[in-house]
Every structure is written in C-alpha cells, then in structure tokens.
Amino acid sequence: MFLRSGRAVWGALLAVPLLLAGFDRLVYPALTSRLPAGVGERLAMTDRPLAQSSKAGTSPAGDYLALLGDGHALGYGDGLLAALASGGRPMTPALALHRALNRDVLAFGAAQGGPVQAAVALYGTLEESRATPHPLPPPRQALLLFSEADDFGELLSFIQETVEGEEGFETLLQSPPMQQQLGEMIVKMRGTPIEDGVWRDLSEDLAGRVAEPWEKSWTGLAFLKRLREAKPPALQRLEVKRAEAPPPAGTVNQATVGGKEVFLPDRLAAPPLTMEGGKLQFAGRMFAAVLGYLKQNFPETDLRVVYLPSVVNAYAMSGAQVFIQRDEKDWKERYETALPAQASNALCGLAAMVSRQEGAGFYDARPALREKAREAAIHGPRDWHHLNPQGYEALGAALADYLKQDQRNQGCGAL
C-alpha cells in the first residue's frame, strides 16, 4: 500500500514538468496567436512575434518575411485604436502582406524608435528566442520601412546620445578629429555583436527587462506573470490616444481627396526641412551602419529598404501653403507647398543611394500611397501620424507587387 502511494506521488511529481513542457511547447504558442490587440504588447520581446496574426500557424515558417521599423511596421494607427476598443485584431502591413503573398510575415521594431531600434529588435528577439521552446530562425527576406518624417531625426538622435548630447554633437560638427572618431565608431558598430556596448543597452531598453532563466525555460509561467504587470508605456499612450477626439480639419492643408478639395488637420508630419547638411550626412552614415549591421548578422537574408512618405507628402496638396508639425526649435510651421515635396525627393535619393551602396534593395512607396490617397484618406481620423487600415492595405498590396518582381532596386520617383 505504501509502495503504491509512493509510486503515485513520484508519478505525479514527474508529470508536473511534463505538463509544463507540453503547455510551453503546444498550448502557449497557440494561445498567444489568439490574443486580442494590446495584450501581445505585454509579453516578453521574444514572445511578441507569436502573438501576431500574420502567419498560418502558431510559429512562422522558415521562409518568413520580416518587417522592420517603427510604429508603421507594427501597425500603429486608427486600425489598432479600434481593435483596442473591440478586442479584435487590427489590419497591419504584416497582415496585408500575409494575405497578399500567402506567406508568413512578422513585424519587429519599436513604436518610439527608428532603424537602429528596429535592427536591434530583430537581432535581440532572435538571439533571446534560442533559449525558448520556440526559437525563431533568421528571416528569408527583410523589409526595413524607412519613415521620411522620423527616421533621419531618429538616426541623428542616436548619434547625439552616443556623443553625450546636443552640445557634444555641435562640437563634433566643427571638429575634424571628432568627426573622424564618430566615423570610426560607426564603422565599428557595423560588425559589433549585440552583447557589446550600445547595442546591448538598447536591446535591454526594447525588451523592457532582462528575462529570468526560469522564464526562458517555462514561458507559460512567464506569460501569466507578464499579464499581471503594468501596461508598457507604448500601450498606455495608445489608450490615451483612443480616448481623444479626432483632430478637427484645419484651414491651411488643402488637398485633393476623392475628387474633392478637403482640408486636412494642421501640423501634419513632414520631412526634416531644416536639417543642416552636416547633420544629414552623419544621419546617412548611421543609416549605412544599420544596414551593414543587418547584413553582417543576417548574411543569408535578402534585405530591402522601403521608403515611406511623410503625411504631408502622401497627399496631393493643392493650397498655397502647408501647416506642418514642428520638431525642432525655431522651425516655422508654415511653408510653401512645394518645399516638402522637394525635400522628399532629395531625402529619398539619399536613402536609395545608401541602400544601394550597402547591397540592400530599395523600393519607393510614395507613388503607390499617393495614388491611394487621391481616392480616400489613408490616415486618421484619430491618428494622423500613422496609416489607417486602408493605408496599410494599400501599402501591403504595393509591397506584394514589388516582391513579385525581379528588380530589387527601383530607385525614387519624383513628386
């Protein structure tokens, strides 16, 4: 009798890890793939891809496509705001591509980041996932969504933080020795593993915390722990945005939409119009370093850059002036309508040149999005900084057509 009881106890004890392992490998991935919008943001960085609906199964196929970038890559915008209210799943560029190509697509990035953060998010997520029951292989292809409105500034901000602030950066611009030092730092970063220096620090910032060893082994337990923790800042900002009323139509930003002349809201996102040549040069060099970093760490991945227009350049503006969002001190808010388009053409050319030099493909998404914006608004009505569901569907269709073609480098059109 005692012997039988002992065997039962030992059997029960041995069954516990087997049940946990089964939950970890089978139930947990299937559960995360069905989480409503917003909940996936509360998972550890390694588990967030499992919560994305842009794949056929619970884990991505080996030939999956990676979307890298800021909030555009992650599908931020009015679609996500509506999904947070309804508990549904939003239209994202990854989901649009998944449906158009019948191929698994995963998004990596940071809502408040740029190319540097997107590159680190991909590398860090894949590296950390090796210690989990659901490791992610490198993507077969990767599309880096480059935001005209934000990413040159994000690249510049990263350099400024690296050289200890604006004052140090202004000194750098006037000092050839410091320029050489920064150039050497950028070149070194191209092949630096994530465990060293700024890449490591940035990876920990994106993850929000360093996972405990037991969490890597028993992801299911970590899942329950994560849901009890406070909501991350990005999700809190989204919920605040959802509660706000849509911005009213302005009186300056006149555009042709749907065959009618309409007024869009004031302070639309625009390309950097006052960035000095020296700063723009370093931003371009930092972008080259990011592409080199991705090529170094993912040599078998077909890397391509997608240039996204700022909001003001996504529409056929028909007024005499545009009223744009001011990002730096002493910026004007109103400019002649032609100026943002001229800046867009120059900046697109710079991004295309850097991409070509680094061996990455390039696609200019401005013509396709502008064509859609002539039919209907592709932003708003609440979030006028990111695409809405119609905008993401148009972007997904354009990218699907591009990927089906043989030409990796398609250059820039002219607005």
More confident residue, 127 or 214: 127
pLDDT at 281: 84
Residue 292: CB atoms within 10 A of its CB come to 20
Q: What is the pLDDT of residues 179-234, one digit of tens each?
A: 565 556 555 554 444 444 444 444 444 443 334 433 444 444 555 554 444 455 66
pLDDT for residue 350 is more than 90:
yes
pLDDT for residue 169 is more than 80:
no
How much is the average pLDDT of 391-413?
Answer: 93
Q: What is the pLDDT of residues 140-149, one digit of tens each?
A: 999 999 999 9
Task: Give residue 146's Cα distance to chain centre.
Answer: 9
pLDDT for residue 367 is more than 60:
yes
Confidence of residue 359 (pLDDT cuts 50, 70, 90): very high
How much is the average pLDDT of 317-346?
Answer: 86
pLDDT at 103: 95
Closest CA to 107 of 313, 283, 380, 306: 306
Which helix or strand (DSSP H or E) is residue 321 part of? strand 321-323
pLDDT at 253: 96
In this prediction the pTM is 0.83
pLDDT for residue 307 is more than 60:
yes
Confidence of residue 348 (pLDDT cuts 50, 70, 90): very high
**pLDDT-above-90 percentage for the chain:** 41
CA atoms within 13 A on the CB side of 289: 25
Closest CA to 69 of 144, 141, 152: 144
pLDDT for residue 30 is more than 70:
no
pLDDT for residue 317 is more than 50:
yes
pLDDT for residue 167 is more than 60:
no
- Looking at the DSSP bridge assignments, the partners of residue 142 are 66, 303
pLDDT for residue 2 is more than 70:
no
CA pair distance 362, 252, nearest whole angstrom: 33
More confident residue, 300 or 280: 300
Q: What is the pLDDT of residues 76-123, one digit of tens each?
A: 999 988 888 887 888 999 999 999 999 999 999 877 788 988 888 888
pLDDT at 162: 64
Total residue length of the chain = 415
pLDDT at 112: 78
Max avg pLDDT among 91-95, 152-156, 213-217, 302-306: 302-306
| Average pLDDT, rounded, for the chain | 79
pLDDT for residue 267 is more than 80:
yes
pLDDT for residue 49 is more than 50:
yes
Domains of the chain in sequence order: 52-210+242-404 (3.40.50.1110)
pLDDT at 107: 94
pLDDT at 181: 59
CA pair distance 202, 197, nearest whole angstrom: 9
How much is the average pLDDT of 376-381?
Answer: 96
pLDDT for residue 38 is more than 80:
no
CA pair distance 90, 353, nearest whole angstrom: 34
Q: Is 298 within 8 Å of 354 (Cβ atoms)?
A: no
How much is the average pLDDT of 314-327?
Answer: 90
More confident residue, 314 or 88: 314
Helix axis angle, 389-404 relative to 78-86, nearest 10°? 120
**pLDDT-above-70 percentage for the chain:** 68
Confidence of residue 308 (pLDDT cuts 50, 70, 90): very high
